[in-house]
Amino acid sequence: MSLRAVAHCATASSQELGDLILRLVMIGFGNVGQEFAKMLLSKRDWLLKKKGLDVEVLAIATKTRGSLLTKKSLNLERVLDHLKENGSLVGFGPENTDLSPLQIIDKCDADALVELSTLDIETGEPAITHIRTALELGMDVITANKGPVAFAYDQLRDTARIHGVHFRFEGTVMDGTPIFNLVDRTLPGCEVIGLSGILNSTTNFVLDMMLHGSSMEEAVKEAQTRGIAEADPSLDLEGWDAAAKITALANVLMEANTTPKTVRRQGVTDVSSSDLRRAASEGKKLKLVASASRTGEEIELEVKKRLVGPDDIFYSVDGTSSALTIRTDLMGDLTVFESGPGVTQTAYAVFSDLLLLVESIRNGTL
């Protein structure tokens, strides 16, 4: 249980007994961070009435758009308005700071870190250091950044246990779809012996558009216009994003203790529209599938192109949708399907992790 969060439990003189004030520091304030902030605003009354919870954001750190730090709660509505009007947090007011994210984590009297910085596929940094520092300071941590789970899950999990705090990461794979919580909370006693899924929505969308006549360049541009792909889509098209996701899944659910660099990886940059039409003429579709399988003591990870027919469960996973099959020893195969996710779903994963964090704090469990 986070001692910081317990220290901020409100007394009966200020609120009803059992109410909790949870103070956050946010590292990264892009689309997901802003959507999460909007969620806190829209759900504030619900949180107070139904959960006895008041959430305050004490600091926001960004890489290029300025940072804010205060001893009091930031006015998130004003922060969002200022950012929309100015494209930056600079000039917001006395809360502006030049401190680095690590300095902000150290100086901010927060109970929990919400880490939403950009993925670094080479090392998982600086998010790993942000998270480790917060855990060592006694902060609970929520992240939607897959890098730390893909590169340093065992290390961060053990650090959280040593310091008696929580490390939550539901939003790292398949947006807000509950994968880690599904296994943890509803499959007690089951061993995960394999994983297979379409995990990268950008690639799936691009292949789908190419099948219907677009070039890869046109499909990527459309994905960027819709906010599905980044300005540099190479991490998606070369299979790195899917590799990071299957590694994160295997590290948590199969104790793989590995990194994305061990994944046998293919991308789709060599796929042409004629390839897709040829497959369609045979009643098949080309999909980029990530998988993890156990052979003895070894866990093999791969991302590869696969031709699937109508009898394959992934055949109907089109556009921005994704799916994951979890193979277990006692329950057989379970497949989770996510249809057309967006930034709201990823922000919801952070929000749901926050609710489960509070539940754990109140129950005194890790």
Burial of 71 (0-12, 13-18, 19+ CB in 10 A): exposed
Task: Check: CB of residue 299 under 8 Å from CB of residue 262.
Answer: no
Residue 276 and residue 23: Cα distance in Å, rounded?
50
Instruction: Check 50, 72, 221, 245 and give the catalytic one.
Output: 245
Q: Is 107 a catalytic residue?
A: no
Q: From edge to edge, which strands make up the β-sheet containing 192-198?
A: 264-265, 298-308, 285-295, 192-198, 322-328, 333-338
List the one residue out of 316, 320, 324 whose CA is nearest residue 205.
Answer: 320
DSSP per position, 133-172: HHHHTT-EEEE--HHHHHHHHHHHHHHHHHTT--EE-GGG
Task: Check: CB of residue 90 under 8 Å from CB of residue 111.
Answer: no
SS3 70: coil
- Catalytic residue list: 245
